[in-house]
Structure 1
Amino acid sequence: MSRVLLVTPTLDASGAEKQLMLLARGLPRDEFEFEVLALTRGGPYEEKIRAAKIPVDILHKRWKLDPNTLMKLKQRIQSFAPDIVHSWMFTANSYCRLALPKQSRPKMLISERCVDTWKSGWQKWLDKKLMPRTDAMIANSESVAEHYRDFGFPAEKITVIPNGVEECDLDATLRAEVRSELGIPADGKVVGFIGRLAKQKRVEDLLWAVQLLKQLTEDVHMIFVGDGPLRPRLEQLAKVYECEHLTHFVGHQNDTQRYLSAMDVFWLGSEFEGMSNSLMEAMACGLPVVASDIPPNRELIESGVSGYLAPLGDAVAFAQFTQRIFAETNLATQLGSAAQSRMREQFTIPQMIERHIEVYRGLIATTG
């Protein structure tokens, strides 16, 4: 039986952590023995992993550069003796490669989940320095893979494995329940966003699009699901735009399907992504979507067929595409059905798990 150590910075309720949780719960236990290690803290997905009777440990990292955590990680790798260390995202990727033993080391597999334009000079330097200690990389989109090929990572070591998304359907009961809670009429037009209220997501563009859309459509409402540093500014802008009565900030929610069911159209305006879980979940539920025209979103949406792609930062296009969906009979159903079919055919959780297993087997076959 092969041993795999899955390492992540946290087990927060975020996209990469969800994919790790889904992978851990789906790996065949007659072929793999595995543990999950979080460097800094646990979170909602820790409970889900433990519920599946998978060992989880938290190292409680306190600082960016924490020698104590690095030492504990080295000890854990030595005691568990994995065949593969599979780390996720920059912090875990860095710590794990630094912690590898010099002799008889396990295979080192890193996962990159985003086009990381935010990385500083020293972070890029460290990535370059640690490349020789890396046996393989998993990228969750072709866009991420291209980003790291351009960065200098060997193309032959990169495998693209898209995120997997759970099947779901919109629920009429939840739709009525959430709308009642928020004071939205049953026949109101509702657009929504799920994610972190941060600069990367271009949420101010979405709020401006609401202001434009309300000039075109009666009784339109916007639901923001999520929290982040821009929430106070968004709430203030909603007052400036005189649409605070149409804009609903509900904070972080574990059960996002409740809110997807209340929506008529899903928006994502991000300037960069890896592969958006929230966008995929909306498509999997059969919601029509309007998203920014960036490479990762193009991998999910065929514009005009399974949703619409709007130029980055173009609030007018978001409003116009959404107005078209509201105005044209059957268009919402056609777009939503095509989106749902695409998710169920090409982006399932079993497909995601099987592709990881193939990478694991390939690495183990080259051991020694």
Structure 2
Amino acid sequence: MSKEIKILQIVSNIKKNGPAFVALDLAVGLKQNNVDSVVASSGGILIEELNSEGIPHVYIPISRKSDNKITKYFKYVFDFFDSLQILIKSIKKYDINVLHAHQPIPIIFGRILSFVFKIPLVITAHNIFSTDNIINKVYTMGNKIVAVSEEVRQNLIVNFSVRKEKVITIHNGIDIKRVKVIASSKCREEFGIKDDEVLIGIIAGLRKQKALDVFLNALKILTQKVDNLKVLIVGDGELRNELETLCKSLELSEVVSFTGFRNDVLNIMNELDIFCLSSDYEGLPISLLEAMVNNIPVVVTAVGGIPELITSGYNGILVPSQDPISLADELYKVISKVDIRQQLKENAYNTIISEFNNIEMAKKHLRVYKDVLADE
């Protein structure tokens, strides 16, 4: 008789970020496939979603902060062992037989617990990682590694010397009922954007990876062709001040609004005319999948796993990275041609519904879980 699978996912937090959404949507997909799972994290707003789905959440204090430099180190050590004890109790309580970790610290927990309980560890690599940072070596520690795109998989094989048979590509899939938006956020009213103005949105952390300077330079070119244009940059990060300064120097302050972190991202997305990403590298962005299923035409850079999702001209537009001229040209085409926008929206929606949903993602993960259990 085959063993009943019970999974413990460990993620740094369950706030609104890529790994947290993947953990949530995977847990929901597993439940719909009649498989029990538990999510452990340091907390976040998505706990409400887990509770509404009847999925247990275990709090582990891995992200508690201390402003005192003297006590900071000791606090990290204390929190680490405190979290480890909580996870040990949870494995026993829920009779867990597969561990699934999503980020470096959760992976370290997973490796220790895998050794102690003699149960397999599955790891998800959500992005393309550099070998320069030694902490990224933890992504080689699983019995099986799930890469969210083929490019992420190849990075692990080529740069981290992971055996080909150890790493498998499973594209992210989203819970359609979670992300399909009905209500709007009235963000046009909030930011003074008129109904006849074209609204482009970027939803991203304000960090170097997202190459928002390239987007702003493309926007400067675009404003010379389109005069009824507005942009919302939704998110926060260490480059915000620098990007706001660049906006001023490019004379785009009247066009661009920085919203900061928002809890109503999906509702804001529902107001957009175009979704854009200018990233230098990616795994497979959840925000892109969310835009597509909400019928927003997308213009994005051809990096990471994005070309595995987007067929340019069919369900979105791909542009080279670090190329503001091409980005401006493609944005202009989508703005100026209504028939293209409509075609992109319809095909994007159908792509997500048929291929990138969380039920299919969960089925593929189940095969991985069964494989690692069979190898034990």
* TM-score (norm: length of structure 2): 0.87
| Matched residue, 2:218 | 209
Measured after TM superposition, the shift of residue 169 of structure 1 is 6.0
Q: Residue 237 of structure 2 is aligned with which of 223, 228, 234?
A: 228
Q: How does 1:270-289 map to 2 (within 5 A)?
A: 270-289=279-298
Paired AA for residue 34 in structure 1: S
Structure 1: runs of 5 or more not aligned: none
Secondary structure of the residue that 2:259 maps to in structure 1?
strand
Secondary structure of the residue that 1:197 maps to in structure 2?
coil
Asked if residue 22 in structure 1 is aligned to residue 31 in structure 2, the reply is: no
| Matched residue, 2:11 | 8
- Whether the 8 Å CA contact 2:25–2:175 is kept in 1: the answer is no
Supply the distance in 2 between the matched residues of 1:190 and 1:200 (Cα, whole angstroms).
23
Deviations 1:64-99 (A, max 9, x none): 963652464266336345211111122211232134
What is the root-mean-square deviation of aligned Cα atoms in Å? 2.4
Paired AA for residue 77 in structure 2: D
Supply the distance in 1 between the matched residues of 2:39 and 2:181 (Cα, whole angstroms).
33
- Whether the 8 Å CA contact 2:61–2:83 is kept in 1: the answer is no
Asked if residue 146 in structure 1 is aligned to residue 154 in structure 2, the reply is: yes
| Matched residue, 1:54 | 55
Supply the distance in 2 between the matched residues of 1:82 and 1:184 (Cα, whole angstroms).
51
Supply the distance in 2 between the matched residues of 1:56 and 1:182 (Cα, whole angstroms).
36
Deviations 1:84-142 (A, max 9, x none): 1111122211232134335x50111111111112x5443245555xx3xx311111111
**Structure 1, 275-284 or 22-31: larger mean CA deviation:** 22-31
Supply the distance in 1 between the matched residues of 2:137 and 2:263 (Cα, whole angstroms).
37
**Structure 1, 12-21 or 281-290: larger mean CA deviation:** 281-290
| Matched residue, 2:127 | 114
| Matched residue, 1:76 | 87
Deviations 1:302-353 (A, max 9, x none): 1122221111111111111111112224111111212112111210121112
Secondary structure of the residue that 2:171 maps to in structure 1?
coil
Measured after TM superposition, the shift of residue 5 of structure 1 is 1.4
The 1:159/1:70 distance shift into structure 2, 3 A limit, reads farther
The 1:234/1:364 distance shift into structure 2, 3 A limit, reads same
Q: Residue 347 of structure 2 is aligned with which of 338, 342, 360?
A: 338
- Whether the 8 Å CA contact 2:100–2:121 is kept in 1: the answer is yes
- Whether the 8 Å CA contact 2:293–2:352 is kept in 1: the answer is yes
Measured after TM superposition, the shift of residue 44 of structure 1 is 1.0
Asked if residue 328 in structure 1 is aligned to residue 337 in structure 2, the reply is: yes
The 1:127/1:265 distance shift into structure 2, 3 A limit, reads closer
Q: Residue 36 of structure 1 is aligned with which of 29, 33, 39?
A: 39
Supply the distance in 2 between the matched residues of 1:169 and 1:100 (Cα, whole angstroms).
37
Asked if residue 163 in structure 1 is aligned to residue 168 in structure 2, the reply is: no
Secondary structure of the residue that 1:309 maps to in structure 2?
strand
The 1:270/1:20 distance shift into structure 2, 3 A limit, reads same
Identity of aligned residues (%): 26
Secondary structure of the residue that 1:234 maps to in structure 2?
helix
Asked if residue 136 in structure 1 is aligned to residue 132 in structure 2, the reply is: no
Measured after TM superposition, the shift of residue 164 of structure 1 is 1.0
The 1:358/1:217 distance shift into structure 2, 3 A limit, reads same
| Matched residue, 1:359 | 368
Q: How does 1:284-299 map to 2 (within 5 A)?
A: 284-299=293-308
Deviations 1:255-308 (A, max 9, x none): 222222221111101111110111111111122111112131111111122221
Measured after TM superposition, the shift of residue 217 of structure 1 is 0.7
Structure 2: runs of 5 or more not aligned: 65-72
Supply the distance in 1 between the matched residues of 2:120 and 2:162 (Cα, whole angstroms).
16
| Matched residue, 1:174 | 184
* TM-score (norm: length of structure 1): 0.89
Secondary structure of the residue that 1:28 maps to in structure 2?
helix
Paired AA for residue 153 in structure 1: V
Supply the distance in 2 between the matched residues of 1:68 and 1:221 (Cα, whole angstroms).
45
Answer 1 or 2: higher relative contact order, Cα 8 Å, separation at least 6.
Answer: 2
Q: Residue 106 of structure 2 is aligned with which of 73, 80, 92?
A: 92
The 1:105/1:146 distance shift into structure 2, 3 A limit, reads same
- Whether the 8 Å CA contact 1:111–1:137 is kept in 2: the answer is yes
Paired AA for residue 196 in structure 1: G
Measured after TM superposition, the shift of residue 59 of structure 1 is 2.2
| Matched residue, 2:77 | 66
Supply the distance in 2 between the matched residues of 1:272 and 1:260 (Cα, whole angstroms).
22
The 1:31/1:305 distance shift into structure 2, 3 A limit, reads closer
Measured after TM superposition, the shift of residue 60 of structure 1 is 1.2
| Matched residue, 2:68 | none
- Whether the 8 Å CA contact 2:10–2:102 is kept in 1: the answer is yes
Supply the distance in 1 between the matched residues of 2:138 and 2:37 (Cα, whole angstroms).
27
Q: Residue 260 of structure 2 is aligned with which of 229, 251, 257?
A: 251
The 1:71/1:82 distance shift into structure 2, 3 A limit, reads same
- Whether the 8 Å CA contact 1:283–1:340 is kept in 2: the answer is yes
Supply the distance in 2 between the matched residues of 1:166 and 1:248 (Cα, whole angstroms).
29
